[in-house]
Structure 1
Amino acid sequence: MTDFPPAHYRPCVGIMLINPAGLVWVGKRYKGGPEHVDATHSWQMPQGGIDAGEDPLSAARRELYEETSVRSVSLLAEASGWLVYDLPAQVAQKSWKGRYQGQAQHWFAFRFEGDEGEIDVIRPPEGNKPEFSEWRWERAAKLPELIISFKRRVYEDVVSAFSHLTA
């Protein structure tokens, strides 16, 4: 973990959404995004960029809502720094017009306090484009094996940081 987002890394947030049973929300990414080059490892937690002037916690709440339609949450924990991953060179050239070599993510854990009917990845709110084709609850320990390889270390660190909150 680093204390600040390094230059040449896109600052963004990641969200571990945990249900009352201690399971974690994961969504299956739609095919075709430049960052998603491995159809086998297409499950991930919500994540997204931090807008100019936006603080990371606000960005996390916004991204969670835009990607899952979920607002019924309470903050459980915040990771103590930025987790960084590099994109493969060929992916970095296609993503974000080649401006970044990867992402620096600030992670938050939220407790889901709503009804599952609130979750809608097919018709996200406010005209946002769907990023996921389906979703499910999963054991935190299994998350690193579901994610694309270049993000795996970040997921291992997130699972470790928030392990006291999950089943």
Structure 2
Amino acid sequence: MSKEEIYRPNVAMIIVSSEYPQKKDIFIAQRNDLTDIWQFPQGGIDEGEEVHEALFREMEEEIGTDAAEIIAEYPQWVSYDFPPKIATKMKPYKGQTQKYFLLKLSKDAKINLDTKHPEFIDYKFVNIESVLDYTAHFKQPVYEKVINYFKKEGLL
């Protein structure tokens, strides 16, 4: 595999509030480096780190809490390519390969975006039907695939 074909291993999370399953709105956060782009929290898996360790570490680093429980896991890894503008900043990676989880926040979870290295400036919970209206075009096929899987499973 050449350097151009390397995909960064990553965890990604679809987060629902503590009111789940009565309320199935999904957490999205607005990036601090791209104008009006919202996404699911996600992050790289460190060398030697277990996937679940990375999941909760990234959750804490990105939204200031790891007070959540895993509801489900997408059964496969899914990948996407970075657009050229982002790819130049992310060398040697061509894109990311991600393991997705559906998580429910605990009642006592306190979201705090003012973390050590803030990635987001705002967050909200949005209706599942409108989530793709907010997200970056290059991530939408993956988001749609994962959301549709969890819907088909009766989880969203």
TM-score calculated relative to the size of structure 1: 0.81
- Cα deviation for residue 14 of structure 1 reads 0.3
> Does residue 165 in structure 1 map to residue 134 in structure 2?
no
Letter in 1 for 2:8: R
How many percent of aligned residue pairs carry the same amino acid? 32
CA distance in 2, matches of 1:52, 1:114: 32
Alignment of 1:1-167 (within 5 A): 8-19=6-17, 20=19, 21-31=23-33, 36=34, 39-40=35-36, 42-95=37-90, 98-115=91-108, 118-121=110-113, 123-124=114-115, 128-163=116-151, 164-166=154-156
CA distance in 2, matches of 1:8, 1:60: 21
Is there any run of 5+ residues in structure 2 with no aligned partner, and where? Answer: none
CA distance in 2, matches of 1:71, 1:100: 27
Which of the pair is proportionally richer in strand? 2
Letter in 1 for 2:70: L
TM-score calculated relative to the size of structure 2: 0.87
Which of the pair is proportionally richer in helix? 1
Is there any run of 5+ residues in structure 1 with no aligned partner, and where? Answer: 1-6
CA distance in 1, matches of 2:96, 2:40: 15
Letter in 2 for 1:139: N
